[in-house]
């Protein structure tokens, strides 16, 4: 599966647009991560526990989007974007979305 954040793919022709595909996940912080994050807030710097949590969430959302595209028979997903939103205090959604296409 080819994944791109551009409208097209160099050297490839889009034969058919199959539609919007998406994948999402909702992740919550946990007490252990919050404890270490609180310590990091005191001394400053990157909160690595949250960075990993967000990276894992993006990867899971991306994989779910790819599965959605595969279910449509897509060869690629173009115009891929990520967005996130707060669901509740301590929990957020990460959404990956794009346009599933068939290539020539």
Entry pTM: 0.83
Domain count, the chain: 1
CB atoms within 10 A of CB 33: 16
pLDDT per residue as tens digits for the range 90-102 = 788 999 999 999 9
Domain that includes residue 63, residue range: 2-103
pLDDT grade, residue 8 (50/70/90)? Answer: very high
Q: Give the pLDDT confidence score for residue 27 in this predicted structure.
A: 87
- 14 DSSP β-pair partners: 103
How far from 67 is each of 1, 35, 37, 56, 95, CA to CA, in Å? 10, 35, 33, 17, 14
Q: Read off the pLDDT of residues 39-58 as tens digits, 9 standing for 90 and up.
A: 556 666 777 878 888 999 99
Which range, of 18-32, 69-83, 87-101, averages the lowest pLDDT? 18-32
Give me 89's structure tokens: 């205090």
Higher pLDDT, 17 or 32: 17
41: CATH: 3.30.110.70
């Amino acid at each position: 599966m080819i994944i791109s954040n551009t409208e097209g793919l160099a050297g490839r022709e889009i034969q058919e647009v199959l539609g919007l595909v998406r994948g999402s996940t909702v992740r919550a912080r946990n007490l252990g991560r919050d404890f270490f994050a609180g310590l990091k807030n005191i001394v400053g710097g990157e909160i690595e526990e949250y960075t990993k949590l967000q990276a894992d969430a993006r990867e899971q959302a991306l994989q779910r989007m790819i599965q959605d595209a595969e279910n449509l028979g897509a060869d690629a997903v173009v115009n891929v974007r990520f967005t996130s939103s707060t669901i509740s205090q301590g929990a957020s959604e990460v959404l990956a979305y794009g346009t599933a296409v068939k290539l020539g």
